[in-house]
Amino acid sequence: MANPLKLTANDAEDLTIISACLQDAVTLATDLTYLPKERRFAAVFSRFCWEDHFGDGKKRWVKSGVHFNGVLGVQSKDLDRRPDEVLELLAIEAKARDDGAAEVRLAFAGGSSIRLDVECIDCNLLDMGEPWAGRRLPKHPVDKG
């Protein structure tokens, strides 16, 4: 891959950039894992290359690994854990606390979410492998109201 993304987020503002890169990324519940002994939450997504770093206008997707360090706890809400159910990530949001800790929320289409209680924001995103051409372009219904 010519220019794989390799990003680090250490505060809520940095995390908005990773969130934008992962908007509409898809994954399976089996590709999300919490490793409590390592205090790490990790996920593998297929993400749309919004940055279009290829410059040819083609629709490309790439596998991206994301992990959060310093994770003290994980809670999920309405998360479909069937192995074949595709989860579509809408956004990653963070609420920092005065002590440097934070609550990070991964919001998925359909209202499900994962909440990470982290000692500090420490997130990394890394593209893995070669991108592939896709026919599907992420799209959202237009809000009327």
Q: What is the mean pLDDT of residues 69-79?
A: 96
Is the model's pLDDT at 82 over the cut of 90?
no
Q: pLDDT by residue (tens digit) across 109-134?
A: 999 999 999 999 999 999 998 999 87
What's the pLDDT at 140?
Answer: 53
56 vs 142, residue with greater confidence: 56
Is the model's pLDDT at 10 over the cut of 60?
yes
Residue 121 CA to chain centroid, in angstroms? 14
Q: What is the mean pLDDT of residues 87-103?
A: 95
Complete DSSP assignment for 101-134: -EEEEEEEGGG-EEEEEESS--EEEEEEEEEEE-
Is the model's pLDDT at 44 over the cut of 90?
yes
Domain positions in the chain are 6-133
What's the pLDDT at 138?
Answer: 65
